[in-house]
Amino acid sequence: MTETTTTGDADTAPDATLDEGTSRTASRRSVLGWGGAGLALGAVAAGGAAAVTRSGDDVAPAAESGAAVAFHGAHQAGIATAVQDRLHFAAFDVKTADREEFVQLLKDWTRAAARMTAGHAVGEGAYGGLAEAPPDDTGEALGLRPSRLTLTIGFGPSLFGKFGLDGKRPEALVDLPKFPGDNLDKARSGGDLCVQACADDPQVAVHAIRNLARIGFGKVAVRWSQLGFGKTSSTTPEAQTPRNMMGFKDGTRNVSGTDADALVKHVWVGEKDGPGWMTGGSYLVARRIRMNIETWDRTSLQEQEDVFGRDKGEGAPVGRAEERDEPFLKAMKPDAHVRLAHPDTNDGATILRRGYSFTDGTDGLGRLDAGLFFLAYQRDVRKGFIPVQRSLSRSDALNEYIQHVGSAVFAVPPGVRGKDDWWGKGLFTGEA
């Protein structure tokens, strides 16, 4: 990847998280396994794209696609961040029973993530090291810009049965109930932890997950993964609202990434919510939703619009002229998707969505395996996704054309704040 400058204090720049003084020879301990010793970084050349800064609860508006998003902050990037165009999401199972080994992996992943999001190669890079050892970086992102890459980690419920963490599972990290119509594939559900890689270049996102999986070899293994494209929800309301695979605008009323009050109210875990290690974090629900698009494509335009409660061209609610006009819910059919998903129908339940479309070949019966990879962040799953999905699963007209086939929920810890911090530190050390 290309070298790039970042903004902010030296303490929180990606370079500050790395072991500056480690010798080149010592760093080649990657012959035995990629670890902290392979993270040495020499002088960083200036140039490339400028960073997109993040400060406090706010995220700067969407920037050019080649820019770098700051890795460090009170919250993890990739939540309120302006949604990128591409996704590679991976859920992992933990294979090691050694707590210290797993903690070291989290530290190694944090350092690698800081490098990759800044546009640097992992460790000493893909070439130039010992010929007898595998390179530290797989190399497919060489010459590519950071492309606003963000890496976001989350911990699944099953992780808390390991490493003596039983008493640290947040009350809000509940197992999702089985909703009517669910047809979940266990091979595409769950996971001890996840990493969400978002970028404007698909190769940059894939490179990030590939290298984290490589670093974790023998300690974690990919349980399932999902590629996504064409963001279906936006955290930047000033930008054009994206469309889903059914051709309708999605996310008109989504939480804005710059609305600090809404983020505090609906997305970020507060100090009084508990536990302390989750303060500043969030909870993620991931759902793979298969769309029966062949059936949908043979449905009349009027019925399509009735199903959603919006017109297909402008995206305006029923009886309104503009997309962002306040919807008159009673003018919609009782089973219209917008009506059933609206906060007013669900006692104010609000989630931040940043899902992606997917197409994964065919199902063997001549139909496209396509749909929505739904991602939603919230302050409490019990007050966010669950009540909304209960409303939708019971009577949403859209259910005739979709089916939930994969599901997972994760506790997403707060951001990495400095050189001595790492993903999940508060969970494993008790330090908030």
For the chain, helix (H) and strand (E) counts, in that order, are 9, 13
Q: Total domain count for the chain?
A: 1
Find all residues with CB under 8 Å of 426, minimum gap 6, and list them. Answer: 276, 277, 278, 413, 414, 432
Task: State whether residue 422 is helix, strand or coil.
Answer: coil
* Whether 199 contacts 149, CB under 8 Å: yes
Which one has a higher pLDDT value, 107 or 238? 107
Strand-strand pairing, 368-378 and 356-362: antiparallel
**Using 50, 70 and 90 to split pLDDT, how confident is the model at 35?**
very low
| 90 occurs within a structural domain | yes
Q: Which of 345, 326, 327, 322 is nearest to 391 (CA)?
A: 345
CATH of the domain at 345: 3.30.70.3420
Q: How far is CA 183 from the centre of its chain?
A: 23
Token pair in block for residue 390: 């209960």
Q: In this predicted structure, what is the pLDDT of residue 64?
A: 56
Which bin fits 251, alpha (ψ -120 to 50), beta or left (φ > 0)? left
Q: Per residue in 376-418, pLDDT tens?
A: 999 999 999 999 999 999 999 999 999 999 999 999 999 999 8
Structural domain range at position 388: 49-96+146-432
Residue 366 belongs to a domain: yes
Cβ neighbors of 128 (< 8 A, separation 6 or more) are none
110 pLDDT above the threshold of 50: yes
Does residue 215 lie within any of the structural domains? yes
Tens of pLDDT, residues 172-190 = 999 999 999 999 999 999 9
First to last CA, the chain: 33
Token representation of residue 339: 């009506």
Q: Which two tokens stand for residue 98?
A: 């050694």
Paired tokens of 432: 């908030």
pLDDT at 250: 83
CA atoms of 372 and 245, how far apart (whole Å): 7
pLDDT in tens, 267-313: 999 999 999 999 999 999 999 999 999 999 999 999 999 999 999 99
Please provide residue 71's backbone torsions phi and psi, each rounded to the nearest 5 degrees.
Answer: -80, -40
> CA–CA separation, 67 vs 46, rounded Å?
14
181 domain residue, yes or no: yes
Residue 39's closest CA among 22, 14, 64? 22
Question: What gap in Å lies between CA 20 and CA 337, rounded to an integer?
Answer: 54
Q: Give the helix, strand, coil percentages of the chain, each rounded to 5.
A: 25, 20, 55
pLDDT (average), residues 414-427: 96
| Cβ within 8 Å of residue 258, ≥6 positions away | 58, 59, 61, 80, 236
On whether residue 127 sits in a domain, the answer given is no
Whole-angstrom distance, CA of residue 417 vs CA of residue 19: 17
Q: How confident is the model at residue 239 (pLDDT cuts 50, 70, 90)?
A: confident
pLDDT for 48 beyond 60: no
Confidence of residue 77 (pLDDT cuts 50, 70, 90): very high
Interhelix angle 99-117/202-215, nearest 10 degrees = 160
> Tokens 């017109």 belong to which residue?
311
Amino acid at residue number 424: G
Q: Is 253 part of a structural domain of the chain?
A: yes
Would the pLDDT of 261 be above 90? yes
Q: Is 19 a domain residue?
A: no
DSSP 8-state secondary structure symbol assigned to residue 131? T
pLDDT at 24: 36
* Within-domain flag for 106: no
The predicted pLDDT at position 231 comes to: 86
- pLDDT for the residue numbered 150: 98
